[in-house]
Amino acid sequence: MLVNQFLILGAVLFCIGVYGVLARRNGVLVLMSIELILNAVNINLIALGALQGPEAAVTGQVFSLFVITIAAAEVGVGLAIVLLIYRNRTTVDLDEVDLMKG
Amino acid sequence: MLAQNLSFAVLATVATVAALRVVSTRNVVHAALYLVVVLASVGALYVLLAAEFVAAVQILIYIGAIVVLFLFGIMLTRPTIGSEHGLDNDQRWMAGVTGLLLLGLLSFVLVDGFGDRQLPRLDGMSREALTAERGTAAVADSIFSTYLVPFEAVSILLLAALVGAIVLARRD
């Protein structure tokens, strides 16, 4: 298998995630798009690790485990923030959350 | 080799189509369920790359925990569950152009940089040699020796995120 198969799939998922972050208005959907981006990163880490030999393969797996853990923490805090926005403004529309816009 | 390439093609197609549905569907719950499809296909791709522990963690943490969190988030922030308008903002065309430009740039760089470099073939190795070399035991050894300090730091981070989420979400 070519390493580029995996890297380009990662790039595709990353770009779909970037589109989602830019185009979605719902806060929960933006968080889902961020998960797509983090998954693309994990594919890249594991594919590049597998390319470089056994030690790098293990290192790539360990780093992707760290990324998965941090993604879980990020979703927990992110959803708590979205819930707080909903409670204060009864909407999760990110276009209406413009308190800090100059 | 053919079987591997064939399964890659199927999984990559499923992941891409489901990811496109995640960012384009009008129903928020469907987006979460399509996210499950993406995450499961990516987990299967990890198996294809001989990273079986990461695949198991992907299923457990992502599908088991994160998607359930998303579903709870949707449930708590929606007056109605169902198809709805206005999930996309008016800059979606610019967002599409940005995504396509980024994809073109990344593909060009990847094809230019890695060309047709092959992943090392693992199907000649015995299963014992493969697991000793890059299996779950090797990953565990690496986490608890080389990456022990980052591992502990991540556990502190998880604790801080837990406390932070409770502080943010609870009603006083």
Q: How many structural domains comprise chain A?
A: 1
Q: Say if the Cβ atoms of A68 and B61 lie within 8 Å.
A: yes
Are B77 and B135 part of one and the same domain?
Answer: no
Averaged in consecutive runs of 10 residues, what is the pLDDT profile of chain B (172 residues)? 90 96 91 95 93 94 92 83 76 92 95 88 78 86 94 95 89 74
Q: What is the pLDDT of residue B129?
A: 81
Q: Which of residues B45, B60, B81 is at a domain's end? A: B81
In angstroms, the separation between the Cα of residue A54 and the nearest Cα of chain B is: 6
- CA closest to B148 among chain A residues: A62
B149 touches chain A (CB under 8 A): no
- CA closest to A85 among chain B residues: B77
Contact A64, A46 (CB under 8 A): yes
- Give residue A23's domain range: 3-89
In angstroms, the separation between the Cα of residue A102 and the nearest Cα of chain B is: 19
ipTM: 0.92
Indicate whether A75 belongs to any domain.
yes
Q: What is the CATH number of the domain that holds A52?
A: 1.10.287.3510
pLDDT tops 70 at residue A85? yes
Helices (H), B25-81: 28-48, 52-57, 67-77
Indicate whether B62 belongs to any domain.
yes
User: What is the pLDDT averaged over residues A49-67?
Assistant: 92
Q: Which of residues B81, B113, B144 is at a domain's end? A: B81
Indicate whether A49 belongs to any domain.
yes
Contact B157, A73 (CB under 8 A): yes
Q: How many structural domains comprise chain B?
A: 2
Q: What is the pLDDT of residue A59?
A: 94
How far from B98 is each of A14, A16, B91, CA to CA, in Å?
A: 12, 10, 11
Q: What is the pLDDT of residue B88?
A: 82
pTM of the model: 0.92
